[in-house]
Amino acid sequence: MKQATQFSCSILLKAFISTFILLTLHTVRAQQYVSEQEPSGNHGFYNRWAVRFSGGTSIFFGDIKQQAVVPSSDPKNEWRFGGSMGLEYRISPVFSLRGQTVYAGIAGTKTKSDRNFEGEMIEGSLGIGLYPVNIFSTSNGRFAEFYLMAGIGLLQFDANLFRLSDGQTIAGSGNGNGMGIGGKTLEAIAFAGFGVDFPLNEKWMVSFETSNKAVSNDEMDLTVSQSKYDIYNFTSLGVTYRIGSKNFKKPHKTKSSKSIATEKKSPMKPSIPEEIIHYEPPTILDTLHLEVKEAVISEVTIPVETISIQDEILLDTLDQTTKTVNAENISSTGFSVQLLASSKPFPLEKLAQKTGLNMADISESSFNQLYIYTTGKFDKYQDAIVLRDKIRKENHTPDAFVVFFSDGKRQAKFPK
């Protein structure tokens, strides 16, 4: 039985590692188009608190078990069911603290030994969660979010061992004689596992979790062998409700009154808006040849979007024939706000209902073999930023971001 248990654990460990690698690589690849558009990657949100409710199956791996891995239903059914409730607090986009309570049945059968056991258990645990993909990208616009979990806890259970042939009780544990609640047997456990969250909207998710729990002794099935521990698995499917939104962005530093006063004294040195400093460079540059009496200023490069009122007054007094402007086709070129990217067409009516926007204001196009949905068309980056912030705050789309179109096609990078 010891070899069978080790074989079972080996298979589960290999499956766990393979799933972790595949999900991590897939999720990182799916986020590459976002990181190309906004290099900082800081355009998402995460929720501080999450309440989890789920139901699922418990499977025992120990001395009294018919097969090494798969639960048997003959001659006795080894499948048992239970439910769980959990609370999670996100310390950061990568780490979280988790608490969970599980109530489930447990059972095992071994025909060769003419034994079967039945039990009920209550588990309480504390642990940590790790969201590895957020180490590389903090966008929350994913189809799914993968996480790892591990921790320790206490297990309380009642169990009885029976003779399989006639149902005679051979031994019992707990049942009013233990140190736990209601006389249950009390043991320590350690657990490790993984889960995947599938967001339905900004608050609700469908959640899948599976974890293996190692009991501190080999007596859960009332049968002692050379193995030091009994192990059981709890796999569940449920819903998660997220509470409290937190921006991934770090707060911007505000300018001091001294720096503002310095800028006012230098009208020919317009300041660059903070949004441009933290996102992408300005897109259209003008080359001006200025002649001011005795002083000659040549090849002065000034972003059009950042010219102050004082600069506009000065430019009005200059010979307009010396100013060259890099003109663009505004009807098909400019900045927009991307709402969604999908591998399949997404109904515009449904997207309009989700975001609260007018369906006529949403456009569909393609980029990197994806269907993308955008709204607005602006000549200036700052105007698109204003719409982006409004949509994030008022239209239930916290991961909206600015993109650039040239001749009607979305570009991977902003123009220089």
Same domain, 44 and 127: yes
* Residue 276, CA atoms < 13 Å, CB-side half-sphere: 17
Same domain, 219 and 89: yes
pLDDT at 123: 97
| Residue 57 belongs to some domain of the structure | yes
Same domain, 153 and 70: yes
Residue-by-residue DSSP string for 346-385: --HHHHHHHHT--GGGEEEEEETTEEEEEEEEESSHHHHH
Same domain, 165 and 43: yes
Tens-place pLDDT, residues 314-336: 344 433 333 333 333 334 789 99
Specify the number of domains making up the chain.
3
Out of 198, 218, 247, pick the residue that ends a domain.
247
Same domain, 320 and 355: no
Same domain, 318 and 348: no
Which parts of the chain register pLDDT below 70? 1-46, 138-141, 245-331
Distance (Å, rounded) from C-alpha 206 to C-alpha 204? 7
Nearest one of 48, 56, 383, 411 to 238, comparing CA atoms: 56
| Residue 391 belongs to some domain of the structure | yes
The CATH number given to whatever domain includes residue 175 is 2.40.160.20
Expressed in angstroms, the distance from the first to the final Cα of the chain is 68
Q: Is 275 helix (H, G, I), strand (E, B) or coil?
A: helix
pTM (predicted TM-score): 0.54
The CATH number given to whatever domain includes residue 349 is 3.30.70.1070
Out of 324, 343, 367, pick the residue that ends a domain.
324
Same domain, 71 and 190: yes
Same domain, 145 and 199: yes
pLDDT at 11: 54
Same domain, 287 and 384: no
Range of the domain at 291: 266-324
Same domain, 189 and 133: yes
Same domain, 299 and 224: no
- Contacts of residue 289, defined as CB under 8 A and 6 or more positions apart, other chains included, come to 298, 299, 322
| Residue 147 belongs to some domain of the structure | yes
Same domain, 104 and 67: yes
- What's the token pair of residue 162? 């029976």
Report how far apart, in Å, the C-alpha atoms of 12 and of each of 204, 269, 283 are. 29, 64, 53
